[in-house]
Structure 1
């Protein structure tokens, strides 16, 4: 399934370095979406988000919908 084909390495945010313990890692998928997993527990599984879902999520983050 193309939407679940991971085509890049997982990356953790540079903001998650140091004392931060609750982190996620993100990788690109073949269809332009993203794969997301817990950086401390890879065995817990991976969530897959299509390109439109990911774009909406990023827009919401940039728009401040989740607070800070």
Structure 2
């Protein structure tokens, strides 16, 4: 049982190098929140333009196929 405990402890020790400290993690989370907030804003502005462009393309294709 002691050998299993040591095996788990020493295999998990390198994983702690990949986990950032909490102060860096909170900065990362804050940056992600700001990025998502701005992305949602730009998507909301671009969506009507994308719909308009798509409908114009579809209508021109329909007009070109009519006899």
TM-score, normalised to structure 2's length?
0.28
Q: Which has the higher helix share?
A: 2
TM-score, normalised to structure 1's length?
0.27
Q: Which has the higher strand share?
A: 1
Larger radius of gyration: 2
